[in-house]
Amino acid sequence: MLRHLLLKLRATGPVTVAEYMREALTNPGQGYYTRRGGIGESGDFVTSPEISQVFGELIGIWYISEWIATGKPEAFQLVELGPGRGTLTDDILRVFNQLASLLSKCDVSIHLVEVSPKLSEIQALMLTGGKVQSNPEDQSAYMKGVSKTGIPIFWYRDIQDVPPGYSFYLAHEFFDALPIHKFQRTEKGWREVLVDIDPEVPDQLRFVLSPSSTPATEHFIQPEEMRDHVEVCPEAGVIIQRLAGRIEKDGGAALVADYGHDGTKTDTFRGFRNHKLHNVLRAPGTADLTADVDFSYLRKMTQGRTATLGPIKQREFLKNMGIDLRLQVLLQNSHDGATHEQLLHSYDMLMNPKKMGDCFNFFALLPHHRLVHPDKKHKPESKSPLPPVAGFGELLLK
C-alpha cells in the first residue's frame, strides 16, 4: 500500500486526507477493510456488539418498538451499513426470533451494505453458516443467503442498490470509517491539509497545507466557522441525504451510533493497531483509520426531510432501553462466577463514562409524523399522544 501511494504521490503530487483515507481503508486490493478489518479482541479495535450480546438485543428491541409505534407495517427491511463481523445483526436476529409470534405476519428481510469481500465472507459465515449464493441473477445484491433463523439476507456495495420500502437502517461505527477532508485556518485564510512524501525521510509520508484554497475549502467551510481546524466528511453527508430521502418516502427509521461530537471538535483523525494508537501516516493499510462523527453535520444533511433525535450518550441510551433490567435477568439466570464476572465487566465497558459510556452517541432519523401529528396544528385536541421514541427519553415502568 505504501509503495502504491508513493508512486501515486510522485506522479500526481499531494492528495487530500479523504483520498488517502479511502485508499488506506477500502482500496480494492490492499485496503485495511478489504484485506481483513481487524475487529475484535484478536484484532485492532473492539466494538460494543463484540463486547456484549445485550447491546444488539437492545437495538433489536428499539426497532421492534418503532415497528409497533407505526402500526406494525406488514413488511420491513433491516438495512445495516458496515456490519463488520455480523455480530450486531446476529444479536438482533435472535431478538426477532424470540419475538417470532409478534412478527409472524410481518415479512422481514436483512440487507447488508459492505464493501469488503473478506468481511462479507465472515458475515455470511456468522449469519447463514456460510450457505450463500454469489451474484444472484434476479437481484441487485452481490450475494444472498438465508439466516439460521430463516430470514433472507442480501449483500450490496452501496445503499443505492438496496430496494426501496419501509426500512430500518443501522450504522454502528460506520460513519467514522468514511473519508474526511481536513482544513486549517491560516493567516492567508483556510487551507486544506494534504498528504505528501516527506522530502527529508525516504518512503515516509507527511502532512502539508495546500498553497492556496481548494474547491473543498470553498465548499465545506461555513463563513461563521469559529474553529481553527475542521474535519468534514462529505460521503457521510451524501449517505445521510439518501437515508433521509428514503425514510421520508417509504417510512422507517435510522439509528446511527458512533463516537462523535456536535460540531465542536477539531483534530480527531487517528489510527488503531493492536488496540493501540497508531500514527495515521505509518504503514497505511495495516491500521484502522477513523475520525469522530460530526452529528451537527449529519443533522444538517437531512435537509429537513426527516426529524432527528440526539445525539445522546451511549450510557443514557442503553439505560433508557432497559440495560439494567436485562443485566439483572442475565445475572439471575447464570449460576457460575466466571459468567457473572464477564456480564459485569462488559456492562462496565459499555456504560462507564470513562470507557464507552460517554464518548459513543446515539442519533436517530425519523419521519416527521412520528414525532408530530400531521394535522396537530389544525386540531390539537383531537389526537391521542404519539408513543415516545424508546431510548431517547427516560424509561418509565408501569
**Interface contacts to ligand SAH, rule CB under 6 A:** 26, 33, 37, 39, 47, 49-50, 82-84, 88, 113-116, 119, 172-174, 177
Residue closest to 115 by CA, chosen among 169, 168, 72, 158: 158
Question: Minimum Å distance from CB 87 to ligand SAH?
Answer: 6
Shorter beta-carbon distance to ligand SAH: residue 221 or 323: 323
Query: What is the SS3 assignment for 99?
Result: coil
Q: At its nearest, how many Å lie between ligand SAH and the CB of residue 84?
A: 3
Residue (103 or 323) nearer to ligand SAH, CB? 323
Cα distance between residue 173 and residue 151, in whole Å: 24
CB nearer to ligand SAH: give 78 or 103.
78
Give the span between the Cα atoms of 205 and 172, in whole angstroms. Answer: 30
Q: What is the DSSP letter of 387?
A: P
**Cβ distance to ligand SAH smaller for residue 30 or 210:** 30
Residues 24 and 31: beta-carbon distance below 8 Å:
yes
**Shortest distance, position 385 Cβ to ligand SAH, whole Å:** 34
Nearest-approach distance from CB 20 to ligand SAH, in angstroms: 14
Nearest distance in Å: CB 173, ligand SAH = 4
Nearest to 239 by CA among 183, 170, 289, 311: 170
d(CA 227, CA 102): 50
Minimum distance of ligand SAH from residue 138's CB (angstroms): 23
Q: 59 or 244: whose CB is closer to ligand SAH?
A: 59
**Based on CB atoms, which residue is closest to ligand SAH, 60 or 84?**
84
CB of 397 to ligand SAH, least distance (A): 29
Cell of 244: 433521509
CB of 112 to ligand SAH, least distance (A): 9
Q: CA 128 from chain center: how many Å?
A: 22
**Nearer to ligand SAH (CB atom), residue 85 or residue 370:** 85
Which lies closer to ligand SAH via its Cβ, residue 196 or residue 358? 358
b/e for 196-208, b at 16 or more Cβ within 10 A?
ebeeeeeeebebb
Nearer to ligand SAH, 27 or 302 (CB): 27
Local structure of 204: helix, strand or coil: coil
How near is the Cβ of 200 to ligand SAH at its closest, in Å?
33
Residue 70's SS3 state is coil
By the 8 A CB rule, do 147 and 128 touch?
yes
Strands (E), the chain: 15-16, 75-81, 107-113, 132-134, 143-146, 152-156, 167-172, 181-186, 189-197, 205-209, 229-232, 252-261, 270-273, 276-278, 288-290, 293-294, 307-313, 360-366
